[in-house]
A = this chain, B = another copy of it.
Amino acid sequence: MNEPDGGNRRSRRGRRPGESGTRNAILAASRKRFAEQGYDNASIRDIAVAAGVDPALVHHYYGSKESLFIAAMRLPNIPGLVGKALESDPEALAEGRLGELLARTVVMIWEDKTLQRTAIGLLRSALTHERAAAMLRDFVRSTIFGQIASTLRSPDAEYRVSLAASQVIGLLMARYVLRVEPLASASGQEVVRAIGPALQRYLAGDIGTDSGTA
């Protein structure tokens, strides 16, 4: 007779006793893989292995790779975080510390591993996957554009914000994706000191157009 409770028999078919937390394991593993390899290079089989699970379970829970990606990349309300940061320091705009505030928020968000993976996954996947690019644009729009552009009272607010966004994106790319040294190893404080004033200038300084504080 065969033993039903071998214990270490891996390829045992059927349901396992107790709670397995498989659904969350898949989600976490997919975040990791999407962040490290991007949408196309992260295969469902890889994700399943990383989650210690059969590939078919991924489909069972999330239906398709696309849906899994969407579920994995749904960010824990970052626009809310940015909005809170703005509200917590209402003087920032008047006192010319908007850029510094934005830089601090970005660096702070980055300290959360899950948020970091999500954002990098989006960034990585956006380059080859149109759906991911759309999600990233939406994210940028709702976060930076929505929350910040409305704070500015400038006719070229959107241009200013897109400039700031370019610096933020470049920071993430250089620091976390391409790992350009020594920027990649610099501390968050240093980065805020270096980037903050540049963002401030983009948002409210003289950028060569007719508006702005000369």
Contact = CB atoms under 8 A, between A and B. Distances in A.
A92 B162 CA distance: 28
A182 B208 contact: no
Interface residues of A, number: 46
Contacts of A193: 207-209
A183 interface: yes
A25 interface: no
Interface in A148-182: 158-159, 162-163, 165-171, 173-175, 177-178, 180-182
A69 interface: no
Oligomeric state, in number of copies?
A: 2
A207 B183 CA distance: 13
A149 to B, nearest CB: 11
A197 interface: yes
Interface string A190-201: 100111011001
Interface string A18-54: 0000000000000000000110110000000000000
Contacts of A209: 190, 193
Contacts of A207: 193-194
Main secondary structure of the interface of A (DSSP, over half): helix
A180 B166 contact: yes
A90 B165 CA distance: 32
A91 to B, nearest CB: 21
A124 interface: yes
- What 6 pairs across the A-B complex have the smallest Cβ distances? A170-B170, A193-B208, A166-B174, A162-B183, A166-B170, A194-B207
A137 interface: yes
A169 B174 contact: yes
30 contacts: A38-B127, A38-B128, A126-B177, A127-B127, A127-B128, A137-B180, A158-B181, A158-B182, A159-B182, A162-B174, A162-B182, A162-B183, A162-B184, A165-B174, A165-B183, A166-B171, A166-B174, A166-B183, A167-B198, A168-B170, A170-B170, A170-B174, A173-B173, A190-B208, A193-B207, A193-B209, A194-B202, A198-B198, A198-B201, A198-B202
